[in-house]
Each structure stands twice: as structure tokens, then as C-alpha cells.
Amino acid sequence: MDQAAIQTNVHAVDIYQVKKNQRIKSLVKGLLFLMPSIVLFSVFMFYPMIRTIYLSFFLTKANGDTTVFVGLDNYINIFTSPIFLQSIKSTFLFVLYTVPLTIVVSLFLAVIANENLKGIGFFRTIYASTMGISVAAASVFWLYLFHPTIGFLNQILKTFGLENIGWLTDPKWALFAVAVTTIWMNIGFTFLILLGGLQSIDTSLYNSADIDGAGYFYKLRRITIPMLSPTLFFVITVTIINAFQTFGQIDILTQGGPQNTTNLIVYSIYREAFTNYKFGLASAQAIILFIIILVVTVLQFKVGEKKVHYQ
């Protein structure tokens, strides 16, 4: 091999080594930038998840220490428990009550608030105001509205000569009452996101439709809803996940009663862990809830994303 070929090979090796060193440096820099997030995710997400999976296969002491490995017995026990099966049923009913109504009401308010009317800014503020109210404060407010004797709702029924309803004490009404409370609390956030989506739609689409003589409802059906579909997809997904994770209003309004009709899965997990001190059963329920939310979210992406239209 002549000297020129040797120098060429050496030069190629040097270039390769320099590029390799640059890639290593870039990787190290990237990891350093990601390190805070990696640490936070590890401490507050990955470790709790792994710990929960681990605990779900054990019986535990009151302080959370494991005692006996029971394998899948915790999962078998919860699926043979009438109380947990009732909590699954109540959770899905609660999602069915809250998600469609929240989306429909918020969309209706957002469409109204998107109109160029005098004083509409005041109404936008009112519609979004529930975002600034904590779950505890909102639940206490509705607790008084639902009071069986002095509550405003029963006072209205009394005015019309109707019997009082045990909004939070009657098994037929309790879950619906909590759902109404949740819808009211969620409207502010959902409304604000949908209003932002409406205002991002290109006005030239409406101008073209006006030239063609399209009516209001035709534009709503053919332009507004399709162009708003990415925002609707996001809002529906988030609202479903939040509905499955509902806890605060249940704890304040009903504590899972009456007759476990409002004992949603998250409240059932809380009660097993911090009332009965059965952390193994609570962990198994948490894993089941995670799987349910994961499956529902995947289905939402598979089915819902096909109907999303991007501009």
C-alpha cells in the first residue's frame, strides 16, 4: 500500500473518530438537559408505578410493609367482590353521564361566546370562571344546594308542590347529583379550550360560505365542527381520563354512598388503602384502573382520530 493510501485511511479514521466523539458529546449534553425530567419522572412516576405493581402481589401490614406473597389472589378477590364490581359499574355510568354533557354544554357556550356581540367578554369570563374554583369549594357549594331540607333545589321543588329529593342520600339520584357537580366544575376548562379552537379557524372559510349563501347551521355542521375536530378530540380524551380519576367531590359529597352507588374506582382505592389499610388490594385496583384508562384511551385514538380533520 502506498503512502497516499495510508494517509487517506488515517484521515478517514480520524474523521470517523471526530464524528463519534461529537455524537457522544451530543448524547451527554442531551442527557444532561433531560436529567431533571428523568429524575422527576423516576421519583414521582416510574418508582410509584413499579412499587404499585409489586405491592399488588402481596398482603401488607398497616404501615405498607409486605408480609405474604399471594400472586394473583388480590386480583381474583377484587373481581369476585360485589363492591368492586359495583364501583366499576358506577365509574362507567359516571363517565357516560359527565363526558357527553360536559362536551355538549361547553361547545354550546363556546359557539355563543365566539359570536361578535356587545359585552360578550363578560359572558366569556363568567363561563370560564369555574376554572378558578377548587374542587373542595365547589363541592361544599353544591353540598348546600343538594341539602334535603334547606337546599335550593328542593326549595324549588317545594314551590311547585313536589316532594323533596334526597339528592345525595337516595341511591337513584346520588350518582347523577355528583355527575352534575362534576359537569359544572369541568365546563370552565373545556369551554376555554373549545373557544380557543373556534377562534383559530380561518375566517376565510366562513367568508366563502357566506358568498355561496350558506346558512348558520350549515356553516356550523360543514365548517365549524370539522375544523374544530382536533380540539374536540383533545378535549374528549382529557375529559374521559379526568372522569375516571374523579375523587374530590365523591369524598366531600357522598363518601362513596349511599349503598356504594357513588363508590368510584379511585375512591375505592383510597378506602382500601387508607381506611382498611389493605395496600395490596388497593394496588391491584390501581393497576386495573390504569389498564381501563389505557384501553379506553387507545380506543379513543383508534376510533376518534380517524374523524379528525386538520386544516
Residue 68 is assigned to a structural domain of this protein: no
Mean pLDDT of 270-284: 91
Q: Check whether residue 31 and residue 150 sit in a common domain.
A: no
Q: Check whether residue 165 and residue 232 sit in a common domain.
A: yes
Q: Check whether residue 145 and residue 287 sit in a common domain.
A: yes
How is residue 261 written as a grid cell?
A: 352507588
Mean pLDDT of 34-44: 87
Average pLDDT value over all residues in the chain: 87
How is residue 206 written as a grid cell?
A: 366562513
211 vs 81: which has the higher pLDDT: 81
The pLDDT score that the predictor gives to residue 310 is 64
| Separation CA 133–CA 145 (nearest Å) | 16
pLDDT digits (tens, 9 = 90+) for 62-87: 888 888 899 899 999 999 999 999 99
| Separation CA 88–CA 295 (nearest Å) | 14
Residue 234 is assigned to a structural domain of this protein: yes
| Residues whose CB falls within 8 Å of the CB of residue 79, separated by 6 or more in sequence, listed in order | 85
Residue 235 is assigned to a structural domain of this protein: yes
Nearest to 265 by CA among 92, 139, 102, 97: 92
Q: Is the pLDDT of residue 6 over 80?
A: no
- Contact predicate 70/59, CB 8 Å: yes
How is residue 189 written as a grid cell?
A: 376548562
Q: Check whether residue 145 and residue 205 sit in a common domain.
A: yes
Q: Is the pLDDT of residue 2 over 60?
A: no
Q: Is the pLDDT of residue 227 over 80?
A: yes
CATH number of the domain encompassing residue 108: 1.10.3720.10
Q: Check whether residue 35 and residue 178 sit in a common domain.
A: no
Percent of the chain with pLDDT over 70: 94
pLDDT digits (tens, 9 = 90+) for 114-149: 888 787 888 888 888 888 888 999 999 999 999 888
Considering 16-20, 98-102, 150-154, the range whose residues carry the highest mean pLDDT is: 98-102
Mean pLDDT check: name the lowest of 3-12, 51-60, 62-71, 290-299: 3-12
The pLDDT score that the predictor gives to residue 122 is 84
Q: Is the pLDDT of residue 220 over 90?
A: no
The pLDDT score that the predictor gives to residue 3 is 59
The pLDDT score that the predictor gives to residue 216 is 78
Residue 60 is assigned to a structural domain of this protein: no
Domain span at residue 39 reads 3-55
Q: Check whether residue 45 and residue 105 sit in a common domain.
A: no
**At which of 55, 72, 98 does a domain end?**
55
Mean pLDDT of 207-211: 81
Q: Check whether residue 36 and residue 127 sit in a common domain.
A: no
- The pLDDT confidence band at residue 7, using thresholds 50, 70 and 90, is low
Q: Check whether residue 166 and residue 26 sit in a common domain.
A: no
How is residue 54 written as a grid cell?
A: 409489586
Q: Which residue has the cell 376555554?
A: 192
The pLDDT score that the predictor gives to residue 158 is 87
Q: Check whether residue 217 and residue 285 sit in a common domain.
A: yes
Residue 38 is assigned to a structural domain of this protein: yes
Count: domains in the chain: 2
Q: Check whether residue 16 and residue 146 sit in a common domain.
A: no
166 burial via Cβ count (<10 Å: 0-12, 13-18, 19+): middle
Residue 37 is assigned to a structural domain of this protein: yes
Q: Check whether residue 101 and residue 47 sit in a common domain.
A: no
Residue 252 is assigned to a structural domain of this protein: yes
Residue 62 is assigned to a structural domain of this protein: no
220 vs 107: which has the higher pLDDT: 107
Q: At what angle do helices 279-304 and 265-274 cross, to 10 degrees?
A: 160
Q: Is the pLDDT of residue 43 over 70?
A: yes
Q: Check whether residue 190 and residue 126 sit in a common domain.
A: yes
The pLDDT score that the predictor gives to residue 97 is 94
The pLDDT score that the predictor gives to residue 182 is 94
The pLDDT score that the predictor gives to residue 307 is 73
